[in-house]
A = this chain, B = another copy of it.
Amino acid sequence: MRFVRFRKGDETVHGLVEGLKIYELQGSIFSGAEQTGAVFDLDEVELDIPVVPRTFYAAGLNYKTHLEKMSVAVGMDASAPGAPDIGYRANNALIAHECPIIIPSDATDQVHYEGELVVVIGKQGKHLTPETAMDVVFGYTIGNDISERSWQKSDKTMWRSKNTDTFKPMGPWIETDVDLEGMTTTVRLNGQEQICFQTNDMITGIVPYLVHMTKYLTLYPGDVIWMGTEGESPNLQDGDVVEVELSGIGTLRNPVIRLEDAS
């Protein structure tokens, strides 16, 4: 099943996507939602982010080639990706499918995309095991972890480099039925394919991550975990359009706007 959030007048409501229709839902998609009877055309509504994360986790360096590239770009140690120390991102930065990524005027030209699989948690869980870990997973969506590399290198935290407003496109929806083993991630810039990789070819996979995280922390419905990206990105420019397609989920598309210096 495919769950969206979309704008209806002044509010954001939940819906179930079937084909090109959205069936409006009420209640929680995690604990039991019902159809209201209202139906909308998918291409006539404005989508919102598919979930407002309770906690916004991100796995960081979790693919081999990306790790090597980042070791050069921001001075990380490529030889030691080892421990799956989960990181955090901030809700202020989230934007929906089709919303513009806005690059501040004082950013360098090193602003990059990172196409990522996003795990959406649907049940509370702690001390998960390899056998129980997937029980807490509700579904999957797509994330684009926009990153300003000079700030990533200079700042003590990633508050600007990865959490500037609009730097976290997520959507277009949550898909509950996927083939993780067969899934590919394709990133296109202005329609041109930049990279295509096996989505599940992670250094630390979903199950080991969930087991490791929940030794110390409780996952809750609505938490999201961004699983990292592969490869590297060219510098994003004003007017670019970035598409991240995950087979079996869909395509997250966002235009890029670069602000000019006010001076």
Q: Which residues from chain A sit less than 8 Å from chain B, CB to CB?
A: 54-55, 57, 60, 83, 85-93, 104, 126, 155-157, 159-160, 163-165, 213, 215-220, 223
Contacts and interface: CB of A to CB of B under 8 A. Distances in A.
Nearest to A89: B88
Contacts of A93: 217
A215 B164 CA distance: 9
Task: Decide if the interface of chain A is mainly helix, strand, loop or mixed.
Answer: loop
Contacts of A163: 88, 216-217
A52 to B, nearest CB: 8
A88 B160 CA distance: 12
25 contacts: A54-B91, A55-B92, A60-B156, A60-B157, A83-B156, A85-B155, A85-B156, A85-B159, A85-B160, A86-B157, A86-B159, A88-B159, A90-B217, A92-B217, A92-B218, A92-B220, A93-B217, A104-B215, A126-B165, A159-B213, A159-B216, A159-B217, A163-B216, A163-B217, A165-B217
